[in-house]
Chain A
Amino acid sequence: MPTGISGITPTLIRQKIKQRRRRKAEIRNMVHQENGIRQYAVIFLPYLWMLLFFLLPFLIIFKISFSVTEIAIPPYSPLVSFVDGAMQILLHLENYTNIFTDEDGTYLRSYLKSVQVASFSTLFCLIIGYPIAWALATCKNTTRNVMFMLIIMPSWTSFVVRIYAWMTIMKKDGLINDILMALGIIDEPLHMLQTDFAVYVGIVYCYLPYMVLPLFAALMKVDYTLIEAAYDLGCRPIKTFFNSLIPQTKSGIVAGSMLVFIPALGEYVIPELLGGKDSILIGRILWQEFFNNRDWPLASAVAITMLAILAIPIVWFFNAQRKSRERV
């Protein structure tokens, strides 16, 4: 039996190694179990929150959308009823068919209009927000703080108050008309309120920060040597912007666009206060069906359809996110 220095034999070493392996495995298991419990504990509360205040109301609305109106409290027919000891589940699909086969196409038109308004608002936010985010990302730290304050401070006052402020700015004898007339640029006041223009102004104004912040985050991570590389290889500035900067900030563009598009699609307050009679957006339809017509089932169906429309960009968004994660 070969004996090593100070009596350390190969068998002893082997035993020691085995011991150490066992101890390491034990520790690993412990850590895993503890982590497991803690992980669930951390996730549980937000899950519960989403379950109670998002999924449950959604399911209720989904249920209502399959019933018909009744003069009762609540004002819709029950889904499940017992007739002669038999359980009946009545799924009325006419709410959905109504939406698509409505004679004057009010619903479809308002959907299209909403998608149009939300899309253009998102585009305007992107065009206005990108330079702002760029300025934020490239300026000095002290200037950046001031700029951040300027972007965030308006949201310290109520959303509705700010929209009312825009009403006074854009009305016939409002700030803009007064100034333009005083300067002699126009002779009679411009009609701005109750137009699509006013709706766009309101939406872009309100949702701009939601576009700027993700863009800023993306721009902070930009590898500027890639821009230099593009220049170096003969790419002109405007092309470099599309070739190098846009691909690098894609995640920010997508996130910002989602944050603007999704709430803008169902926007109710801004078109109601700033929009004209003809700018019937889906948010308004929802309101009318729920509160003026008290047709809860139809209103629910309208809401569910809107959600389905929103699902398309959301799924796209998650796909884009997954792809960008895979790349890293």
Chain B
Amino acid sequence: MTENTENTKQPLPQKQQHRPGELPGWKASPVSQNKKPILQIKGLTKQFGNFNAVDKVDLTVYEGEIFALLGSSGCGKSTLLRMLAGFEQPTYGKIILDGEDIVDDPPYRRNINMMFQSYALFPYMTVKQNIAFGLKQEHMPKAQIEERVQKMLKLVHMENYVDRKPHQLSGGQRQRVALARSLAKEPRLLLLDEPMGALDKKLREQMRLELVDIINSVGVTCLMVTHDQEEAMTMADRIAIMDRGEFVQVGGPREIYENPNCRFSAEFIGSVNLFDCTLVSSNTTQSIIKASDFHHPIELSHDLDLADGMPLSIAIRPEKIYISKERPAEETNWCEGDVENIAYLGDISIYYVKLTDGRIVSSTLPNVDRFKTGLPTWEDHVYLSWDPESCIALTI
């Protein structure tokens, strides 16, 4: 069976669970929804020699949420996941699942199941045998196993492939079987290790929402590891950005994107223009900031908890910078330069503007009109401006 038939056969993903008026990417904090914590990690550390792969991580995951660990390779996210599954023994720290410390339990005694990046389907077993494997280990009665397997097959739309071996399935189908196998035991916590890692781009985008759908319909709590920020943003309720074994920031997708708490998370998610600045003055209604790269000051409409004259960084996302050939009337929040390069991506164009001191600033322009003329082009002198609310002041 090819990927094509898969595309046409699949129903459109249902709408994501949402409340009216909710902003995309904004999720109510699980605490405010009175959700029950299901997994608590306390001071979890894993050392390999002198190297701390995971460094005193604290985390609470709440009932029914999808939590993503996001980080580049080698940041310790996989080690953390493997410690939760029980494949790695933590150097110290606690893993509390439903109020019980499971840190010393071997993987086969934990009520946690994992979907592996490579899917790890048993090649010598059929789809059905793969799904039933975990249930057989529990010595579940045969009729009940059969019933559960059918339920799982239906859940992942694989009823017609019961007797196939994994090598007779496409990548997307294998993923469905792997998901069914890890859900069959109805675990308290589902771990997903780079769930889309082995799929091609098109299928990946389609599977993201479908996977969320399946997970939500089962209601299982889910912790996933990924290096793909789009994947984390579309699938997860909350995201933890990891760097060098530590959590840099934990929050909902919108919170992390719009309110990064440090340079690392600002740079890690999406792209960003970062300016080294010094605070000139700050009072309750406005803060004036001097950037080292351009002449006009940056003005924020709020107070900064920082002494005058202190250094800070200002981060502005490219899509929040307006590009224009006309000089803005205001005295603040703009700079000027020449268009150095333009990347045309179809849906948007990215302008790389060289400021007078040589610094390159990027700004995106959505291509709303098919044949619009008069847009800035190579070597044009342009003015870049932004709203005061678009600036994110970062002190670290």
Contacts and interface: CB of A to CB of B under 8 A. Distances in A.
A229 B120 contact: yes
A231 B116 contact: no
Nearest to B113: A232
Given A228-B120, A231-B86, A236 B108 contact: yes
B156 to A, nearest CB: 16
B296 to A, nearest CB: 49
B134 A234 contact: yes
A327 B87 contact: no
B181 A233 contact: yes
Contact of A231 (B87, B182, B185): B87
Contact of B120 (A225, A236, A247): A225
B133 A233 contact: yes
B122 A228 contact: no
Interface in B92-151: 106-109, 112-114, 116, 118, 120-124, 133-134, 137-138
B123 to A, nearest CB: 7
Contacts of A237: 108
| Interface size bracket, A side | 20 to 34
A22 interface: no
Interface string A314-328: 000000000000011
| Interface size bracket, B side | 20 to 34
A328 B138 CA distance: 31
A127 interface: no
Interface string A258-297: 0000000000000000000000000000000000000000
Interface in A239-257: 239-240, 243-244, 247-248
Contact of A223 (B109, B120, B167, B182): B120
Contacts of A328: 167
Secondary structure at chain A's binding surface: helix, strand, loop or mixed?
helix
A225 B118 contact: yes
B137 A233 contact: yes
**Residue in A228, A237, A248 whose Cβ sees the most chain B Cβ within 10 Å:** A228
A176 interface: no
A327 B121 CA distance: 14
Interface string A148-173: 00000000000000000000000000
A228 B107 contact: yes
A235 interface: yes
Contact of B85 (A230, A232, A235, A240): A232
A17 interface: no
Nearest to A233: B134
A224 to B, nearest CB: 9
Contacts of B114: 229, 232
Contacts of B123: 226, 327
A226 B122 contact: yes
B113 A239 contact: no
Contacts of B138: 234
B137 A234 contact: yes
Given A226-B120, A247-B124, A327-B123, A231 B108 contact: yes
Contact of B167 (A233, A235, A248, A327): A327
A225 B137 CA distance: 18
B165 interface: yes
Contacts of A233: 108, 113, 133-134, 137, 181-182, 185
Nearest to A239: B137
A228 B134 contact: no
A252 to B, nearest CB: 14
Contacts of B108: 231-237, 240
Nearest to B125: A247
Given A225-B116, A239-B137, A327-B167, A231 B107 contact: yes
Contacts of A225: 116, 118, 120
A278 to B, nearest CB: 43
Contact of A234 (B116, B118, B185): B185
Given A234-B137, A234-B185, A327-B167, A229 B124 contact: no
A120 B121 CA distance: 34
B122 A232 contact: no
B107 A232 contact: yes
A237 B137 CA distance: 12
Contact of B122 (A229, A231, A234, A239): A229
A237 B106 CA distance: 10
A298 B114 CA distance: 64
Contacts of A243: 133
A228 B137 contact: no
Nearest to A244: B122
26 contacts: A225-B116, A225-B120, A226-B120, A226-B122, A229-B122, A230-B133, A231-B107, A231-B108, A232-B85, A232-B86, A232-B107, A232-B108, A232-B113, A232-B182, A233-B133, A233-B185, A234-B108, A234-B137, A235-B137, A236-B137, A237-B108, A244-B122, A248-B124, A327-B123, A327-B165, A328-B167
Interface of B: 85-87, 106-109, 112-114, 116, 118, 120-124, 133-134, 137-138, 165, 167, 181-182, 185
Given A232-B86, A233-B182, 10 more contacts: A225-B116, A225-B118, A228-B107, A229-B114, A229-B120, A232-B85, A234-B109, A235-B108, A239-B137, A327-B123
Closest 9 CB pairs of A and B: A233-B134, A229-B120, A234-B137, A231-B107, A225-B120, A247-B124, A234-B108, A232-B114, A235-B137
